[in-house]
Amino acid sequence: MVEVTVTPQSSLSDRPVQIRVRGLSPSQLVTLRAWLKDEHGERFQSRAFFHADGSGEVDPGNHAALGGSYSGVWPMGLFWFLQSDTLFRRLVKRDVAGSPFLVRLEVFNGIQLGTDPQEEPLASCEAERWYVGPGVQRVPIREGRVRGALFLPP
């Protein structure tokens, strides 16, 4: 049984997470895909192709991606290389304190190049990426022409 995990499942957006895929055949070629929808419903995604190691595992922090959105060893590459399905859109979080980005991670057999894979994933999981920690207070700033926000720790 194939399993993909993100540890920790809920974290701040600037904190590293560990992605692991287990239960693959040794040297199996797989596509690892990450995607999310922003607050406007725009989809952002990234993908990387891997060969499983001798024990049937993939760890982007130790195994080099063979291609896709990036190549080489990038532990956070699936998060860093998220791109919009629509040209010239940027990933921006407007409601930083109210909700996280929910990033869906999926594993597919072989190489999946399309924006919508034609087959069901072998495994999937979801990661929460928060922009503000628990207990942080957001204070809007409006003074003359200056606009901003002050974030106060708990």
- Domain extent, residue 99, equals 3-152
Residue 91: per-residue pLDDT? 92
Distances (CA, A) of 137 to 17, 36, 129, 148: 25, 26, 18, 14
pTM attached to this predicted model: 0.88
Residues 88-120 pLDDT 10s: 999 999 888 889 999 999 999 999 988 787 789
Structural domain count of the chain: 1
Angle at 37 between CA 71 and CA 1, to 5 degrees: 60
Average pLDDT score, the chain: 94
Residues 118-151 pLDDT 10s: 789 999 999 999 999 999 999 999 999 999 999 9
Structure tokens belonging to residue 154: 């708990």
Residue 10's CATH number: 2.60.40.2240
